[in-house]
Amino acid sequence: MPLLRRTPPEAYELRTACPGWTARQVLAHCGAALVRIVEDRLEEGVFLPEANACDVAEREGWPLGRILDELERGLTEAGPVIAEREDGRLDAVALGEWVHAGDVREAFGEPGAYCGESLDLALPLLSVTSRKRETPRLVGVLADREDHPVALGNAIEGRPEARFHGDAATLIRIYAGRPLVRTRYELTGATEHELLIYR
The mean pLDDT value for 109-126 works out to 92
CB–CB of 65/28 below 8 Å?
no
Q: Give the pLDDT score at 84.
A: 84
| Residues of each domain in the chain carrying CATH 3.30.1050 | 119-195
Q: Give the pLDDT score at 47.
A: 82
> Cα(160)–Cα(156) distance, rounded to whole angstroms?
8
CB–CB of 55/29 below 8 Å?
yes
Compute how many other C-beta atoms are within 10 angstroms of the C-beta atom of residue 144.
8
The mean pLDDT value for 66-71 works out to 97
Q: Give the pLDDT score at 88.
A: 72
Residue at 89: amino acid letter? R
Q: Give the pLDDT score at 123.
A: 94
CATH topology assigned to domain 119-195:
Nonspecific Lipid-transfer Protein; Chain A (3.30.1050)
Longest dimension (CA), the chain: 55
| Residues of each domain in the chain carrying CATH 1.20.120.450 | 2-108
Reference 47, options 84, 78, 89, 105; nearest CA is: 89
Residue at 80: amino acid letter? P
Q: Give the pLDDT score at 145.
A: 84
The dotted CATH code for 2-108 is: 1.20.120.450
